[in-house]
Homo-oligomer: A and B are copies of this chain.
Amino acid sequence: MPETRTRRRGVELEKAILDAAWAELNDVGYARLTIESVAARAGTSKPVIYRRWPNRAELVLAAWGSRAPVRPPSPDTGSLRGDLVILFTKIARRVDGMMNEMIAGVMTETFRHPEVAALMRDRLVNAPFGKVVGTVLQRAVERGEHPPVELTHRAGRLPIDLIRNEALINGGSITDETIAELVDQVYLPLLRGLARD
């Protein structure tokens, strides 16, 4: 049976479309991603896509979501600063390149299609890096390297916010220097300041 199946359906087809969308994002970026190009790449046609997602923004969000969130392992370099640099770098790689353009692009369409706004916000606020800071920090406390800290929600989210902000502004990749600046000039001082309560 040479598996003469020519038409995919259901989950299989859906996955093919999301993969194609993801590939397009990587190849040409959000601004140049068209529904037609995704359809062509997936070997299907526009209506098939529109039957599933109402517009470009939601398709892209779905493609984004279809990639597993990759809960990052908490690094353990033996020093708080080392752990933080690694953590920031991991976040940067994830946010890097296409990601920032996508966020900006989807953000814009948010105003054409307000339903998308909520989706987007959830995705950003619930990014999976929040708790890792807590872990890393706790280890530093146990090592006696750092006084105990009441890590507020804002402070926990800050690494992601800093990196995303940087990526959005710079458009390009985030250098190691930038990461060092963020860790040394902002995040470590903040943690020290939080410790005095």
Contacts and interface: CB of A to CB of B under 8 A. Distances in A.
A154 B186 contact: yes
Interface stretch (A1-9, A87-95, A188-196): A188-196
A194 to B, nearest CB: 5
Interface residues of A, number: 43
Copies in the complex: 2
Contacts of A26: none
Contact of A104 (B107, B185, B189): B107
B168 A168 contact: yes
A160 to B, nearest CB: 10
Interface string A107-119: 1111110000100
Interface of A: 29-32, 101, 104-105, 107-112, 117, 121, 124-125, 152-155, 158, 161-162, 164-165, 168-171, 181-182, 185-186, 188-196
